[in-house]
Amino acid sequence: MMSAVAESIMGDNAKPAGVPAASEPLRAAAANEAQVVPAASAAASVKTRSLRKKIIAGGLFMRVVPPLLGVALLVLVWQIIALKTASFPTPWVTLKEAGVMFSDPFYRNSPNDQGIGWNVLASLQRVGMGFGLAALVGIPLGFAIGRVEFLSRMFGPIISLLRPVSPLAWLPIGLLVFKSANPAAIWSIFICSIWPMIINTAVGVQRVPQDYMNVARVLNLSEWKVLTKILFPSVLPYMLTGVRLSIGTAWLVIVAAEMLTGGVGIGFWVWDEWNNLNVPHIIIAIVVIGVVGLVLEQLLVALAKAFTYEQVNN
Amino acid sequence: MDNINGKFIDIHGVEMVFHTKKGVFHALREINLTVAKGEFVTLIGHSGCGKSTLLNLIAGLLKPSDGVLLCANREIGGPAPERAVVFQNHSLLPWLTCYENIYLGVERVFGATENRTQLRDRTRAALALVGLTAAEAKRPNEISGGMKQRVGIARALAMEPKVLLMDEPFGALDALTRAHLQDELLKIVAKTESTVVMVTHDVDEAVLLSDRIVMMTNGPAATIGEIVEVKLPRPRDRVTLAQDAQYGAYRTAVLEFLYRKQAHPAREAA
């Protein structure tokens, strides 16, 4: 419903007045009008416009007010807790601290004392590497597993067994093999990202409609054409879902992994500030982690939308 | 040569048995049928009589449990562009435009021997044949059901198949669009002199289009019950034929078979 309203706002700018925008509630409203006063189209269009304004105003209200109220409630609870507990900073103190922090996010005093910008970037870099490697391995593997039943039966039990294991349990193995903290953290990200990508890609391949495969058989397409023209476009939405799940998990895991490995990174930074007993910084870090996670998720949702094709029905 | 033309498709003693989870299902038995070159044959019967199975066997999408299928004296070993299929649900790839959907087949069949311009011309010609030149850059979800089915037909025809196989191609369309596409198909088939095998459940469609109507008995273990030869002169016009006594007689013959001799399986069970 939200998106329909947004569309109608955009439609208003793009189309001349009186033309119903392509959104369901408005089209319905316009249709009703047409039935009531078929002759007086000018009056109808005025009424349509006022109706549309009402709908947009209602939509704006629902978009803005409830989220603001939610945030206000959270701040209120926080304030009450802060007043009752001496060690917990108030929202105002935290906000002031955030102002100071974000005025210089990229300072570098020593390896253990860097701006929050560097820490976030370091974490993102680890996630990017682990995640990228997982995509390189996981997506082709998913295709193979989805396409060849033998492989699916071969890897199925292993995947089922390893998937529920916490990625942090793999950290010691990474430390043992790579003998260094940074690759070990990347390794944890790799392990946690790879399962959703393998599974979703494989499921996508298995769910390619039989009709499309029949087309491929009748046209006698080469394996390469089948892959590029039928399998890949058909699997892409599933694959992107896998990617989205992976990056969510990866961002969850990196914070925990960095708390254990140390160095630079937002997870380490949270732990460091805990050792310094700088609670406002911890709260700011939590918000930053949330915002970055949200942005990553939204980017991938947008990507998935751009590549999802409507299944064609008759 | 005459022998090849008279028995362009030769189906001999074909049996089809499916092994399903519920057990063995005997779909078709003792199917013997020949189709001449340039002939239009429809397969008609109640649902579940295995007419689509027979079509899929000719297409090579299924392998017979027993018996042989020949096309131009060569055994049908699998699907091939020489036996193009128009699917009931058109099966266009939604991420390709109408042009690209057709080009995919054209490229496969003629890509080795012709250059890009020739391939493009073939694709454009196929689109023009079904009257969809204006829609070439549209994706399947942007056009109507009838247009989609026409693209499906164009895709099949563009490959210059020896046989055109159609599985209830107009089944999902409304009556007016269906009539329109039937007329177009008649014109296209007259122009291209295609050999066509078409599955249908529409008696009027069968009489209007076919040279022969192959009527199948009810399954399981369905087989060919009767064959009606439709000797109406071509070109055929649906409006004049509606008054035609001969047309009525063919129609009655098919209806007689379907509703008297092979009463609907559901009614039989009840």
Tokens, residue A286: 């939590």
Determine the pLDDT at residue B249: 92
Band of the pLDDT at B33, cuts 50, 70, 90? very high
Sheet with B74-75, strands from edge to edge, namely B23-35, B9-20, B66-71, B74-75
Q: Which residue of B has its CA nearest to A233?
A: B95
Determine the pLDDT at residue A309: 65
- Whether residues B204 and B129 share a domain: the answer is no
Note the pTM of the prediction, 2 decimals: 0.70
- Whether residues B69 and B100 share a domain: the answer is no
A219 vs B95: CB contact, 8 Å cut-off?
Answer: no
- Whether residues B57 and B146 share a domain: the answer is no
CA distances from B201 to B8, B170, B198, B269 (A): 24, 10, 10, 20
**Pairing mode of beta strands B9-20, B83-86:** unpaired
Q: Which residue of B has its CA nearest to A236?
A: B95
Could you say which of B107, B134, B152 is where a domain stops? B152
Nearest to A151 by CA among A167, A140, A162: A140
- Whether residues B139 and B50 share a domain: the answer is no
Determine the pLDDT at residue A161: 92
- Whether residues B76 and B171 share a domain: the answer is yes
Q: How far apart are CA B251 and CA B207, in angstroms?
A: 7
Nearest to B154 by CA among B91, B200, B86: B86
Best residue in A214, A223, A312, A313 for a mutation probing chain B (most B CBs within 10 Å): A312
Determine the pLDDT at residue B265: 59
Find out whether B224 and B215 touch, Cβ atoms under 8 Å. Answer: yes
Domain that holds residue B92: 88-152
CA distances from A89 to A68, A80, A102, B3 (A): 22, 11, 18, 96
Q: Does B172 contact chain A (CB < 8 Å)?
A: yes
Q: Does A310 contact chain B (CB < 8 Å)?
A: yes
Neighbours of A16 (CB within 10 A): 5
- Whether residues B99 and B212 share a domain: the answer is no
Q: Does A218 contact chain B (CB < 8 Å)?
A: yes
Best residue in B53, B56, B83, B91 for a mutation probing chain A (most A CBs within 10 Å): B91
Q: How far apart are CA B199 and CA B169, in angstroms?
A: 8
The nearest CA of chain B is from the CA of A210 a distance in Å of 9
CB nearest to A229's CB, from B61, B104, B140: B104
Tokens, residue B202: 């529409």
Q: Does B122 contact chain A (CB < 8 Å)?
A: no
Could you say which of B134, B152, B170 is where a domain stops? B152
- Whether residues B62 and B191 share a domain: the answer is yes
Which residues neighbour A206 within 8 Å (Cβ) at sequence distance 6 or greater?
A146
Say if residue B169 is preceded by a cis peptide, omega within 30 of 0.
no
Residues of chain A contacting B140 with CB distance shorter than 8 Å: 312
Say if residue B235 is preceded by a cis peptide, omega within 30 of 0.
yes
Q: Render the burial of A275-294: b for 16+ CB within 10 Å, e for the rest.
A: eeeebbbbbbbeebbeebbe
Q: How far apart are CA A301 and CA A310, in angstroms?
A: 16
Neighbours of B169 (CB within 10 A): 28
What three-state secondary structure class fits A278?
A: coil
Determine the pLDDT at residue B42: 94
Sign (positive/negative) of CA torsion A215, A219, A221, A225? negative
Q: Does B79 contact chain A (CB < 8 Å)?
A: yes
Q: Count the domains in chain B.
A: 2
Tell me the pLDDT tens digit for each residue of B90-106: 788 988 999 999 999 89
- Whether residues B142 and B176 share a domain: the answer is no
Q: Render the burial of B248-269: b for 16+ CB within 10 Å, e for the rest.
A: eebbebbeebbeeebeeeeeee
Q: Does A214 contact chain B (CB < 8 Å)?
A: yes
- Whether residues B94 and B221 share a domain: the answer is no
pLDDT means per 10 residues, chain A with 314 residues, are 39 39 42 45 72 78 87 89 83 83 77 79 89 92 90 92 88 88 89 91 90 87 87 88 88 87 83 84 87 90 76 42
A214 vs B93: CB contact, 8 Å cut-off?
Answer: no
- Whether residues B99 and B114 share a domain: the answer is yes
Strand partners, B31: B14
Could you say which of B103, B135, B152 is where a domain stops? B152
Band of the pLDDT at B123, cuts 50, 70, 90? very high
For chain B, how many residues are written? 270
Higher pLDDT, A8 or B222: B222
Band of the pLDDT at B124, cuts 50, 70, 90? very high
Determine the pLDDT at residue A37: 42
pLDDT averaged over chain B? 87
Q: Does B77 contact chain A (CB < 8 Å)?
A: no
- Whether residues B50 and B116 share a domain: the answer is no
For B27, phi then psi, to 5°, come to: -85, -50
Residues of chain B contacting A229 with CB distance shorter than 8 Å: 93, 96, 104
Share of chain B above pLDDT 70, in %: 96
Cα B19 from chain centroid (whole Å)? 26
Q: How far apart are the first and last CA of chain B?
A: 51
* Residue B10's CATH number: 3.40.50.300
CB nearest to B80's CB, from A212, A220, A314: A220
Determine the pLDDT at residue B195: 92
Answer whether residue B212 shows pLDDT above 80.
yes
Tell me the pLDDT tens digit for each residue of B37-70: 999 999 998 887 888 899 999 999 999 999 999 9
- Whether residues B181 and B74 share a domain: the answer is yes
